[in-house]
Structure 1
């Protein structure tokens, strides 16, 4: 079981550093990510009857929600497990409860998923949960990854889409404040722009609702797990942020603040 490191760009370094800081608290503040990982594994189990021989690439292993399940489901495959955060990668590698024989089938690499290089028809499957929304060029990056799949191979993704956090957006609109959530993929647009060889697509969307004591707790939870990095040029000032939080709390009182994630599950199988 080897760990290999590859350098990142400056923006991706910021993303990696944020997630590295959040690794200690990730498990206790990432319920949506965990539930989405479970759904992704369920889709893999029910939809993927067989895979061609070869390596399975997991992009963005995090703390190992998906990794553990993949190893159980596909015990005869070699795994190329990557993450942009060295701390996340180390956590995943050190906490996999698997046999020594299984460890011999795993390679860990610190690398940005958009910088993976491989010959065409290299991978039997490419699987990723809650990572591709951080891609700078999601369409071209997914096209490159699809080109790395073997005939009969699959690309299986889970990611929060552009319909996530409508409550946050509504509060900003009512206050005439910028909605500073990072840009999230529009699933339909992404699929329309992909250049895919003959294939079958299975598309599913899931709604996940989280409750927080107040709006500040919601924003704090994003920061705690490393997902609070603002990549937009437009940001709220401290007074504007306080105004947003106080208004959001007042609109929900005496109930908790409710926040919705709209998650896309996308399976592309080459034929």
Structure 2
């Protein structure tokens, strides 16, 4: 484990996302899948049009584009700390370069919809951040978040335990912990979904994580020898391919 202060950690995350910005869209199948799911929820909720709609940690605009496609009269502002990610998005909607580890800019207020897809687990204090986001909603406004939970990647964790190599993936969030400060009547929806990815080998699996800039870790880089060992002991399918299992939480909070 490499000791890293939060400033260095945030810089590392930002640099990795900036480097991956040009290829992110082509490799973000899981993000696209859950963006479509979130849009289905938005259709059911039918948020008020009078408040602002904003996508937080928008990346190249996968979710924001999907929302605008389905609500043609509605503009969705995009906020991200990666300038290159924002520049990848060709929409004419408002874009704000902002580090979401900080409270949202004071001019952001009176929102009727805030969304965040695959972002909050990268932030330093998600429980505090989510309270700030919630404070920006108008009465009747919705905050919809999706993120990987602590039960992701069992194959990876089990393999590392088995061969006594440090697990170098992220330790994701406890979904109950994240909403512990909200009243039960504010939590409209909280569910977990399983999503399975399949790869030819672990080298392609790890490459897929790097392709979207999500390889940031506090751990030492794996040696070739360690990677070969991980490949050897990772559970295989009948055709010798490998799986990566995700568990994704979608939570909807409503301002009363």
Q: TM-score, normalised to structure 1's length?
A: 0.84
Structure 1, unaligned runs of 5 or more: 1-7, 97-102
**Residue of structure 1 aligned with 2:60, choices 63, 75, 88:** 63
Question: How many Å apart are 1:78 and its aligned residue?
Answer: 4.9
- Return the alpha-carbon distance in structure 2 between the equivalents of residues 56 and 86 of structure 1: 20
- Per the alignment, residue 244 of structure 2 pairs with 259
**Is 1:177 aligned to 2:168, yes or no?**
no
- Per the alignment, residue 230 of structure 2 pairs with 244
Q: TM-score, normalised to structure 2's length?
A: 0.88
RMSD: 2.3
SS in 2 for 1:81: strand
Alpha-carbon displacement from aligned partner over 1:187-246 (angstroms, at most 9, x marks no partner): 012122x2459624201211111110001110111112101111x2x3354132332223
**Residue of structure 1 aligned with 2:212, choices 225, 229, 232:** 225
- Per the alignment, residue 186 of structure 2 pairs with 199
- Per the alignment, residue 3 of structure 1 pairs with none
- Return the alpha-carbon distance in structure 1 between the equivalents of residues 146 and 66 of structure 2: 15
Q: 1:34 to 1:72 in 2, by over 3 A?
A: closer
Q: 1:50 to 1:220 in 2, by over 3 A?
A: closer
Counterparts of 1:28-107 in structure 2, within 5 Å, are 28-46=26-44, 48-51=45-48, 53-92=50-89, 94=90, 96=91, 103=92, 106-107=93-94
- Return the alpha-carbon distance in structure 2 between the equivalents of residues 64 and 183 of structure 1: 25
Question: How many Å apart are 1:88 and its aligned residue?
Answer: 0.9
- Per the alignment, residue 175 of structure 2 pairs with 187
Question: How many Å apart are 1:117 and its aligned residue?
Answer: 2.6
How many equivalent residue pairs?
Answer: 249
